[in-house]
Amino acid sequence: MKPSAGTASVLGMNRIKMEDPPTCAYIMLGSGCRNSCLFCAQGSRGKEENCGKDPKFLSRVNWESEKDEKVLQAISGKFETGDVKRVCYQVTDSPDVFEEVLSAVKKTKKLCDVPICVSITGISEKQIDELIEAGAEKIAFSFDAANPELFAYIKGRKWEDEWALYEKTVKHHPKVPVIHLIAGLGETEKEMAESVTMFYAMGSHVSLFAFTPLPKTPLAGRKQPELSSYRKLQTVLYIIRKRKEIFEKIILPQVENYKNPEIQNENSQKTMPFTGETKKIENPENVSPWNKFFGLKKVECEIINQCEFLLSGTDDAEAEVMREKLIISESGNLLEKNNCGKNIPDETVLMATDENGDCGDCFTKTPELFDKTWLKHDIFRFEDDKIVFNRNDEVFLKKNIPSEAYQTFGCADCNRPFYNEKPNQTPYNYPRVLTKKELQNAVELVFG
């Protein structure tokens, strides 16, 4: 097993001074890789002889071999103390690696009940079932590229093959898949936003990475994405998540006979149904970009509808109707008669009671459960395939967007410190809660 340098420090195997230690134990399995991802030091299409043959690096992180038993015992101990909250097995596509990762998952779960994610490629639906049965909570699908054409160029494989396995997995195990996408591989901001939208419509969370150029790889000369561009993508991703919340709470319950397997949103402790239908589309085969990117058919028009809602929002009047419905839904629309004789909606009241528990002064407070601004179709738009935010909403975003929008997002308790940048760089994904100043700076970059 090869723990990352930061993980090894948390596990007590080396000493590294870290302001933000990893909360997840990142462990690499396998040696070298038969895949040919152009950005990866493990890949097989490098310009230099030793590219793809050095097992010590993945992204910009160093991974040193340790004895399996030593690593597993350390994980178990640190899980008990709360220093490790999750394990992520990052698996290279080397011969016989599946048996290695399956064994690692079983051994880990035998020692402790730590949540486990497995990031792996080149396996079958049956093997995914085996990993889940062994105790894997999440399977990471590393699409990385935002569309099929870029996927073929960057990864040297067919998008359709990866999509087919993902589609089967999300159908039979809707809680399991998490999606990895890398910004800065040559896609436009619009294409990345569309890809994120598609995966949320399918029912999966997206974990966004920033491209990191590595020496001796074919993309060593490519620059990282501009931080301002990345902040815009993160903001759009957060808005899509907010729209997904209201979609599941307001739109889906109105649709009859929909299937509702749920996946758990670990970060907010909410649930997200797999799919639904919002409106009728007469000619779904003509809807772009969803068919172009994902090969959707007429029978999947409910996914297309959801994509349109998540990415484009709705008009102001409909947004207000949805917000009112959400307030009624959250409060249960129950009226109770209090001692003061007033009828007050349940869960919208703050009451001051006397020592006998009788109602004294009471007053209603309408909860701001979901600001309709998140739903507005014009909170952002695309110009020349770039994301442009509405200046009229700048004050709203500065006041309301939370730290989590710019933190590492995906599996719960995964913070990935310095995976895409050096310690002296501003993080693309913060591994912790942002300071007030950091949050202000992040939003200012969105507006340029």
Residues 358, 234 within the same domain = no
- Token look-up 């301002």 returns 228
pLDDT tens readout for residues 94-124: 888 999 999 999 999 999 999 999 999 989 9
- For CA atoms 219, 223, 227, 229, the dihedral sign is negative
CB contact at 8 A, 289 and 264: no
**Signed CA dihedral, 34, 35, 39, 44: sign only:** positive
d(CA 400, CA 37): 38
Domain-embedded: residue 194: yes
270 in a structural domain: no
Domain-terminating residue out of 253, 278, 312: 253
pLDDT tens for each residue of 387-396: 999 999 999 9
Q: Give the integer Cα–Cα distance in Å for 50 and 36.
A: 14
**pLDDT at 338 (0 to 100):** 38
CA dihedral of residues 159, 105, 99, 68 (deg, nearest 10): 120
Average pLDDT estimate for 306-316: 89
Tell me, yes or no, whether 164 and 33 share the same domain.
yes
Establish if 446 belongs to a structural domain. no
Q: Annotate 134-159 with b (16+ C-beta within 10 A) or e (fewer).
A: bbbbbbbbbbbbbbbebbeebbeeeb
Q: Are 213 and 123 part of one and the same domain? A: yes
Most distant CA pair in the chain, distance: 82
Q: Which of 2-11, 252-261, 394-403 has the lowest mean pLDDT?
A: 252-261
242: its two tokens: 């907010």
Tell whether 439 is covered by a domain: no
In three-state secondary structure terms, 411 is: coil
Q: Which candidate, 145, 151, 157, places its Cα nearest to that of 211?
A: 145
**CB of 187 closer than 8 Å to CB of 193:** no
What mean pLDDT, rounded, does the chain reach?
Answer: 80
Structure confidence at residue 272 (pLDDT): 38
Same domain for 37 and 134? yes
Higher pLDDT, 167 or 18: 167
Residue after which a domain boundary falls, among 197, 226, 253:
253
Q: Looking at the structure, do residues 249 and 324 belong to the same domain, yes or no?
A: no
Domain hosting residue 211, numbered range: 2-253
How many angstroms separate the CA atoms of 166 and 177, rounded? 7
Q: Are strands 138-144 and 177-183 parallel, antiparallel or unpaired?
A: parallel
**CATH code of the domain covering residue 88:** 3.20.20.70
Closest CA to 158 of 170, 145, 169: 145
Same domain as 358, residue 239? no
Strand 86-91, strand 24-29: pairing: parallel
Residue 56's pLDDT is 57
Instruction: Give the tens place of pLDDT for each residue, 216-275.
Output: 888 989 999 999 999 999 999 999 999 998 888 776 665 433 444 444 444 433 333 333
- Distance separating alpha carbons of residues 302 and 219, to the nearest angstrom: 38
CB 75 within 8 A of CB 108: yes
Q: Are residues 178 and 34 in the same domain?
A: yes
pLDDT at 35: 83
Question: Does residue 371 lie in a domain region?
Answer: no
The domain boundary, picked from 253, 277, 300, lies at 253
Kindly indicate the confidence band of residue 60, based on its pLDDT and cuts at 50, 70 and 90.
low
Shortest CA distance to 233 belongs to which of 421, 388, 370, 383?
Answer: 388
Confidence (pLDDT) at 5: 87
**Structure token pair of residue 298:** 């007429």
- Kindly report the pTM of this predicted structure: 0.83
- Tell how many helices (H) and how many strands (E) occur in the chain: 13, 17
The answer, yes or no, to whether residue 203 has pLDDT greater than 50, is: yes
| C-alpha R_g of the chain | 23
- The per-residue pLDDT for range 81-95, each reduced to its tens digit, is 999 999 999 998 888
Q: Which of 200, 94, 106, 187 is nearest to 148 (CA)?
A: 187
Q: In the chain, what percentage of residues exceed pLDDT 70?
A: 75
In the predicted model, is pLDDT for residue 166 greater than 70? yes
What pLDDT is recorded for position 432?
Answer: 94
State how beta strands 24-29 and 2-3 pair: antiparallel
Tell me how many domains the chain contains: 2
pLDDT at 353 over 50: no
Do 25 and 137 lie in one domain? The reply is: yes
The stretch 310-324 carries a mean pLDDT of 83
Backbone angles phi, psi at 403, to 5 degrees: -55, -35
pLDDT of residue 95: 84
| 226 found inside a domain | yes
- Residue 416, in any domain of the structure: no
The predicted structure's pLDDT at residue 277: 36
